Structures are given as C-alpha cells and as structure tokens.
Amino acid sequence: MLKADKVRHIIAILEDLYPETPIPLDHKDPYTLLVAVVLSAQCTDERVNQITPLLFARADNPYDMVKLSVEEIKDIIRPCGLSPMKSKGIYGLSEIIINKHNGEVPSTFEELEALPAVGHKTASVVMSQAIGYPAFPVDTHIHRLAYRWGLSTGKSVEQTEKDLKRLTPKDLWNKLHLQIIFFGREYCPARGHNPETCPICSIHGRKNMKR
C-alpha cells in the first residue's frame, strides 16, 4: 500500500471513531487555554481539569493573575507537578500579555513562543484550538504513534511534525491531532498494547512492533 493510501485510510478510521473532537482541557477563552496547556506539561489532562477551576476562581485573566504572588499560584497548582517553574511561567506570561499585548493572548507563533513557559507545542495548541490557525501540535504521544504507524522516522518531535504536516491535508490538522491523541488513549497505549487488535496497528503498524 502506498503511503498516501495508508494516510487516507488512517484518517478515515480516526474520523469514523472520533467525528467530534472536544478539547480535553477545560477553558473558556485563549488565556485560560494557554494557562491550562502550560499546566499540562508532564501532567494528565484530568489532573489539570481538577486544578484549573481552583486557579481560575482566583484569576481567570492576566490582570487578576498578576495580583496573586508566584507563591500563591504555586500552592494552587502544586498537584500538577513542576509547580515552581509553572507558577513563574504563568505569572511571567501574564505580565507580558498585559504590558505588550493589551491583555490579549497574542495570535502568532513568534509572540506566543516568546512568552515564559511557552514552547512550540504549547503555542501550536493555542494557535490551533483558540485562534483557529492550522497547526499540528505534536506531543510525545503523537510522536510515538506516528512512528508506530510508519508515518515518521521517530528521530525527533520536530521531524514528526514536519512529516505529519507533509502527509496530511492542512485543513484537517487542528482536528487530526486531537483524534490521534484520543485514539492513542483508547486503542494504542504505550504499555500493554496489542498490535493485533489495534484498529490501525493491525493494518498499518511496523512489522517489528512489540506488544
């Protein structure tokens, strides 16, 4: 099977299983999504969704966030892990959004990636899900599945993003990255995975894939 045919078939499977793709992180606007994505680093979406209501009850906009101290933010977000770094990042990005962007989350990769605690993947999530700009956020799960399905070499997250963008239609990127995440959680986990029963790996997985 040609790679283009493989990609079309994988997309069809994902669309059949996940026609709707709600954003896993609870939020109400670009700012609260940005903060939630920062908190999600090395933390589950479920844990983030338990903590953000507590944080956003105190501060759901950059103006209220900078009224809190870094220490207060850290105490609230501690269960998400990496709280010293994340609290400084959330406070710092809030200051910059106020001082440089009139209180609004910027809408370019360059401006987003200039914010503290915001890397390319975080910026990609905000651009795709809050701004509506075509982007393909690649986290470790998508990176793993793209290699498992033979769509990328697995050399780096950056290379995987390039490969997936090259192989898939641009107008599907914002939905497709969520579909892959949902599929990985339900059918294609890192551990305890059976390629023979996986709807995609049973057809398109690498031959040397291990259970």
CATH label, 3-21+136-204, candidates 1.10.150.130, 1.10.150.110, 3.90.1200.10, 1.10.1670.10: 1.10.1670.10
Structure confidence by residue, pLDDT tens digits, 54-106:
999 999 999 999 999 999 999 999 999 999 999 999 999 999 999 999 999 99
- Residues whose CB falls within 8 Å of the CB of residue 62, separated by 6 or more in sequence, listed in order: 31, 93, 94, 95, 97, 98, 103
- Active site annotation includes 28: no
Distances (CA, A) of 197 to 12, 193, 201, 204, 205: 18, 9, 8, 12, 11
Q: Does the predicted model carry a pTM greater than 0.75? A: yes
13 phi/psi in degrees, rounded to 5: -65, -45
- CA dist., res. 161 & res. 154, Å (int): 10
- CA dist., res. 9 & res. 27, Å (int): 32
Whether pLDDT at 208 is above 90: no
pLDDT at 2: 84
- CA dist., res. 104 & res. 94, Å (int): 10
Of 74, 86, 121, 163, the catalytic one is 121
Structure confidence by residue, pLDDT tens digits, 109-148:
999 999 999 999 999 999 999 999 999 999 989 999 999 9
The yes or no reply on domain 30-131 and CATH 3.40.50.150 is no
Whether pLDDT at 209 is above 70: no
**Predicted confidence band at 35 (pLDDT cuts at 50, 70, 90)?**
very high
- CA dist., res. 160 & res. 153, Å (int): 7
Distances (CA, A) of 130 to 6, 92, 120, 126: 30, 20, 15, 5
Of 5, 26, 28, 139, the catalytic one is 139
**Predicted confidence band at 211 (pLDDT cuts at 50, 70, 90)?**
very low
Sign of the CA dihedral with 99 first, then 105, 111, and 113 last: positive
- CA dist., res. 164 & res. 142, Å (int): 10
Q: Tell me whether domains 3-21+136-204 and 30-131 share a fold.
A: no
123 token code pair: 């910026």
Distances (CA, A) of 85 to 27, 70, 73, 98: 21, 10, 11, 20
- Active site annotation includes 121: yes
Domain ranges of the chain: 3-21+136-204, 30-131
